Amino acid sequence: MAKLYASKSPEVTARERRNGERARKIAPQGMVLLKNGGSLPFKNVKTLAAFGSGIRRTIKGGTGSGDVNTRTVVNVQQGLEEAGYTIVSNDWLDLHDKNCQEASEAFTARIKKLFEQQGMKAFGEILSNPYKDPEVPLITSEHLGTKADAALYVIARTSGEGADRHPVPGDYELTENEKQNIEALSRVYDKIVVVLNVGGVIDTKYFRACPAVDAILLMSQAGNFSGYALADALSGKNSPSGHLTTTWAENYTDYPSALTFSHMNGNTDDEYYTDGIYVGYRYFDTFNVTPAYPFGYGLSYTTFDIHTDEVAINGADVVVKVTVKNTGAVYSGREVVQVYYSAPNDNGPEKPYQELAGFAKTKELAPGESQTLLIRFAAASMASYCEKYASYVLSGGRYYIRVGSSSRSTHIAAAIELSENKAVSVLQNKVQSDVELELIHPDCAPYTYAGEADEKAAAPVLTLDPDSIQTETITYSQAPEEMTTDKDFVITLDDVISGKADLKELVAQLTIEEMANLTVGAARGGGFEATSTIGLASNAVPGAAGDTTSMLIESRHIPNLVLADGPAGLRLSTHFVAGPDGTPIPGLSENPFDELINMGKEKPQRPDDAVDYYQYCTAIPIATLLAQTWDPDAVEAAGDIVGSEMEEFGVHLWLAPGMNIHRNPLCGRNFEYYSEDPLVAGICAAADTRGVQKHPGCGTTIKHFCLNNSEDNRNFINAHCSERAIREIYAKGFEIAVKTAQPLSLMSSYNLVNGEHAANKYDTLTSLLRDEWGFEGFVMTDWETTGSPFHNASDKKYPTSDAAGCIKAGNDLTEPGNAHDVEVIIRSVCSGDGAGGIQFAEEGIRYPITKAELQLCAYRILKVVKKIVESRG
* pLDDT at residue number 834: 38
Query: Does position 190 have pLDDT exceeding 70, yes or no?
Result: yes
Distance CA 803, CA 781 (A): 9
Cβ-contact 717, 751 below 8 angstroms: yes
Render pLDDT for 786-832 as a digit per residue (tens, 0 to 9). Answer: 987 666 677 899 999 999 999 999 999 999 999 999 999 999 998 64
Q: What pLDDT, on the 0 to 100 scale, is given for residue 838?
A: 46
State residue 505's pLDDT score: 98
Residues with Cβ within 8 Å of 74's Cβ and at least 6 positions away in sequence, in order, are 58, 82, 224, 225, 226, 227, 228
382, pLDDT greater than 90: yes
Dist. CA 540–CA 5, nearest whole Å: 8
Mean pLDDT of 568-579: 94
| Residue whose C-alpha is closest to residue 709's, from 279, 281, 132, 282 | 279
148 touches 185 (CB < 8 A): no
- Tens-place pLDDT, residues 48-104: 999 999 999 999 999 887 788 999 999 999 999 999 999 999 999 999 999 999 999
For 166-187, what is the mean pLDDT? 98
Q: What per-residue confidence (pLDDT) applies to 532? A: 39
Question: What pLDDT band is residue 761 in, cutting at 50, 70 and 90?
Answer: very high
- Side chain identity at residue 419, one-letter code: S
pLDDT value at residue 791: 64
Residue pair 548/518 in contact by the 8 Å Cβ criterion: yes
The whole-angstrom separation of Cα 693 and Cα 691 is 6
Q: Would you state the pLDDT for residue 527?
A: 33
Region 179-197: mean pLDDT is 97
pLDDT of residue 1: 55
pLDDT score for 566: 85
Give residue 114's pLDDT band: very low, low, confident or very high (50, 70, 90): confident
Question: According to the model, what pLDDT value does residue 795 have?
Answer: 86
- The stretch 621-630 carries a mean pLDDT of 98
Lowest mean pLDDT across 60-69, 376-385, 673-682: 60-69
Predicted confidence (pLDDT) per residue in 134-156, tens digit = 999 999 999 999 999 999 999 99
Question: What confidence score (pLDDT) does residue 788 get?
Answer: 75
Asked if pLDDT for residue 662 goes beyond 70, the answer is: yes
Predicted local confidence at residue 682, as pLDDT: 98
Q: Long-range contact list for 772-777, CB < 8 A, 24+ apart?
A: 772/425, 772/427, 772/474, 772/735, 773/734, 773/735, 773/738, 773/739, 774/738, 774/739, 775/738, 775/742, 775/746, 776/742, 776/863, 777/699, 777/742, 777/743, 777/744, 777/745, 777/746, 777/860, 777/864
Please give the distance of CA 344 from its chain centroid, rounded to a whole number: 32
SS3 string, 542-592, reads CCCCEECCCCCHHHHCCCCCEEEECCCCCECCCEEEECCCCCECCCCCECH
Residue burial 119-142, b: 16+ Cβ < 10 Å; e: rest: ebebbbbbbbebebbebbbebeee
pLDDT at 524: 52
- Mean of pLDDT values over 301-307: 98
**Interval 243-259 mean pLDDT:** 98
Look at residue 113 and tell me whether its pLDDT is greater than 80.
yes
- The pTM for the full model equals 0.96
What pLDDT, on the 0 to 100 scale, is given for residue 599? 62
Q: Which residues on neighbouring strands pair with residue 156, listed in sequence order?
A: 197
User: Taking the CA of residue 479 as centre, how many other CA atoms within 13 Å lie in the half-sphere pointing to its CB?
Assistant: 5
- Active-site residue numbers? 782
Span 414-468, pLDDT tens digits: 999 999 999 999 999 999 999 999 999 999 999 999 999 999 999 999 999 999 9
610 within 8 A of 577, measured Cβ to Cβ: yes
Return the pLDDT at 790: 63
pLDDT single digits (tens) 310-363: 999 999 999 999 999 999 999 999 999 999 999 999 988 999 999 999 999 999
* pLDDT-derived band at 843, boundaries 50, 70, 90: low
- The mean pLDDT of the chain is 93
pLDDT of residue 537: 52
Band (839; pLDDT cuts 50, 70, 90): low
